[in-house]
Structure 1
Amino acid sequence: MVAHVLAAMSDDHQAVLEATRKQIASYGRLPFYASMFADADFPVGPDGTMSDELVNSLVISGTPEAIAARFGELLSSGLDELLVLPVAVKDAASERTQLARLIGQL
């Protein structure tokens, strides 16, 4: 089983919310995703706006150690693979490199 996860290499919660919301803004406007989010008790607004709670449930963020721990929990829960989509918060190249190193150490 594969899980698609968003990952932001930052512990600035507000910046993570803003960057994630910007990156996935179109999801809430797509009927398939809007229905899936509503089924999971995260209804989107009429214009596709996603709540902070929904965005928080979709992104893993924090220190490299916190992100690695969460990835480990997910993999230990029975998932075979994680499809990780980086969320750039401040420095996309640096954050992508850090995330790649973290994934390589799992």
Structure 2
Amino acid sequence: MASRRLVAAIPSVWRSARSSTSNSAAAARTANMKAGDHIGFVCGRDDAFTRVKRVARYASFEEMLDVEGAANVNPDSPREQQLANIRRIYGPEKEALDVLAVEIELLQPATA
């Protein structure tokens, strides 16, 4: 399958709305995330399976967008809008923990 550079911005510690896992366990998962790991994404009835190509840590979402390039995070949204959206989702308390940029490769197309 052709690889397209996709970069997802996430705080290094988060709690999934669907997960009963504690923040400390989530922190351990993201702290150990590395190239070659697999991530499954599920949204409603859609899902996709990916492989981690690269993980980078940043002090803020702003630094992450500056280094990674906003077009690599979301090519359809201007940088300032992305920054506002990411901060609205995660909030300053999570950004303060540090930020991960995770480059992924789609292994299995999204299914519905």
TM-score (norm 2): 0.29
- Structure number with the higher helix fraction is 1
